[in-house]
Amino acid sequence: MQKIKSMLNADDRAVSPVIGVILMVAITVILAAVIASLTLGLGDSAQTAPTAKFDFDQGAASGSGDADVTVTHASGASIDADRITVTYSGASPADQDGTAFSGADADNPISAGDSLTLSDVSENEQIKVIWTSEDGGTSSTLATYTVQE
């Protein structure tokens, strides 16, 4: 009987803490990987805004205080015309059409040297060049300009 008790009291319980520690480490590593991928956006397929520089050239103000402003793609990546919108508070839909850039259309992207002239923009209005991703889920303001007196 003594032999049976000694066999049953064998220290088999020491395996449980080791397995527990291994499982806790595995769970921690998996959680860290999931959180890192979500935080760093590794699982995202979102498009990033192109790097482009736009210059603004303001003409002399007319008698009403309005001025013509020319927006020129100065340098950087070429951008599909339908991805760019130029807005200001008094703009008509025709002024906001990205294809209004000279030399740009459905087949030719907006590239360095292409320009767009906005007419009769009031002083202190802010002009924005906005890029929108193909799926429409992301947008970014590439350049801003405030019309001077």
Distance of CA 40 to the CA centre of its chain: 14
Domain with CATH 2.60.40 in the chain: 52-147
The answer to whether residue 32 scores a pLDDT higher than 90 is yes
Structural fold of domain 52-147: Immunoglobulin-like (2.60.40)
pLDDT score at 23? 94
pLDDT score at 99? 46
pLDDT score at 147? 86
pLDDT score at 49? 83
- Residue range 61-120, pLDDT digits in tens: 666 668 888 889 999 888 888 888 888 876 554 454 444 677 666 678 888 888 888 888
The torsion defined by the Cα of 40, 44, 46 and 47, in degrees rounded to 10, comes to 60
Backbone angles phi, psi at 60, to 5 degrees: -65, 140
- Residue range 113-148, pLDDT digits in tens: 888 888 888 888 888 888 888 887 888 899 989 888
Q: How confident is the model at residue 1 (pLDDT cuts 50, 70, 90)?
A: low
* Neighbouring residues of 117: CB distance < 8 A, sequence distance ≥ 6: 68, 69, 70, 71
Structure tokens at 128: 């924005």
Q: How confident is the model at residue 40 (pLDDT cuts 50, 70, 90)?
A: confident
Cβ(51)–Cβ(71) below 8 Å: no
pLDDT score at 98? 46
User: What is this structure's pTM?
Assistant: 0.61
